[in-house]
Structure 1
Amino acid sequence: MRLGIVSDTHMFGRAKQLPRELVEGLQGVDMILHAGDWIDAAVVSLFEQIAPTDGVAGNNDGTDIIQRFGRQKIVSLPGCRIGLIHGDGGRKTTLDRAIDAFREEEVDVIIFGHSHVPYQGTHRGVLVLNPGSPTDKRRQPRYSYALLEWEPSETPIQATLHYYDSKS
């Protein structure tokens, strides 16, 4: 399977359309997962034009997005269980909050957002991934998203962060 991983699109305030490099990079994915801060529910249909899309709400999302997606979930796919959360709130770092949210769950991957800082690492054998933001890089040098790939009957799960310079 091949998944596109995005977060913190902050549309349509930070961008009026999905960046060309993002759209091209997501072609052919089996599914897109969004880790929150969509801002406008209309963004969902932009991603759904590329591939089936699921996600969670972030701290800047309205009740329509919260009701549709919830604030955290586990996405079960053949060969992979993915914990998905935005990562805002409370003390600790965004990374620690994301890990703590799934501490009692059996997941292969934890995906989070909120910080706009791309991250890829492991914690107790679990792949932990923040795709950064494809439209609001904040203090990061480049915009980013991630791809997650695996064969259902094989391990390991591979994550790749992708970077680009222009959000047009």
Structure 2
Amino acid sequence: MRVAVLSDSHLGAPSAWFEAVYARHLAPADRVYHCGDHAGVGLWAYLLQHPGFEAVAGNSDGYDLAAQLPPLLERDLCGQRLAVTHGWGPRPGLAARNAKACAGRYDLVFFGHSHAAEDTRLGGLRLINPGALQPGGSLALLECEEGTGIRSVRFVSV
């Protein structure tokens, strides 16, 4: 299964650049997770065309959008307990704060907020931040298999 993870797009509506990124990287994915800070209902509405799209609210999403999105998604992904969240507070220590909040409940956490791509393990928890989906930024593409979990993580510069 191919999974696309993005965050911090900060677009009110899709631009031609975003539509090209969608066609190349998001449309072919089986699942697409946005870790918040879409920053506009127009972008979120565009992403809803993907049948496997899910999202959480970020701190830069306006009230009109944040009211429609949860702060946390809990899912099963390829046999792993997944949490999708945005993140909070200062950028230094963000992965550790997420790990502390999610310890013992999940195997895998997708998060954003820092605009910095990372794939790290803290304790038994794997934390993946796709970076910011903006020109010059990145997104994460994962391959996973039911029962075996994540096989690969690749950060794609956009």
TM-score normalised according to structure 2 size:
0.85
Deviation at 1:127, TM superposition (A): 1.8
For 2:122, the equivalent position in structure 1 comes to 123
For 1:11, the equivalent position in structure 2 comes to 11
Runs of 4+ in 1 over 4 A off after TM superposition: none
Unaligned stretches of 5+ residues in structure 1:
137-141
The reply to whether residue 110 of structure 1 matches residue 104 of structure 2 is no
Unaligned stretches of 5+ residues in structure 2:
none
The reply to whether residue 160 of structure 1 matches residue 147 of structure 2 is no
Aligned length: 157
For 2:2, the equivalent position in structure 1 comes to 2
Contact 1:33 1:55 in 2 (8 A): yes
Identity across the alignment (%): 27
For 2:83, the equivalent position in structure 1 comes to 83
TM-score normalised according to structure 1 size:
0.81
Partners of 1:155 and 1:113 in 2: how far apart?
21
Deviation at 1:12, TM superposition (A): 2.5
Deviation at 1:78, TM superposition (A): 4.4
For 1:145, the equivalent position in structure 2 comes to 139
Q: 1:108-153, CA deviations, whole angstroms, 9 ceiling, x for partnerless residues?
A: 21111011011111122322111011216xxxxx310001221103
Residue identity matched to 2:87: G
Decide which moves more: 34-43 or 92-101.
92-101
Deviation at 1:160, TM superposition (A): 1.4
Q: 1:37-92, CA deviations, whole angstroms, 9 ceiling, x for partnerless residues?
A: 01112212222234421111111112233232211231223412211111113796
Contact 1:4 1:145 in 2 (8 A): yes
Residue identity matched to 2:55: G
For 1:28, the equivalent position in structure 2 comes to 28
For 2:43, the equivalent position in structure 1 comes to 43
- Note the aligned Cα RMSD (angstroms): 2.3
Partner SS, residue 84 of structure 1: strand
Deviation at 1:19, TM superposition (A): 5.2
Decide which moves more: 71-80 or 109-118.
71-80
Partners of 1:156 and 1:86 in 2: how far apart?
20
Residue identity matched to 1:108: D
For 1:101, the equivalent position in structure 2 comes to 101
Residue identity matched to 1:120: D
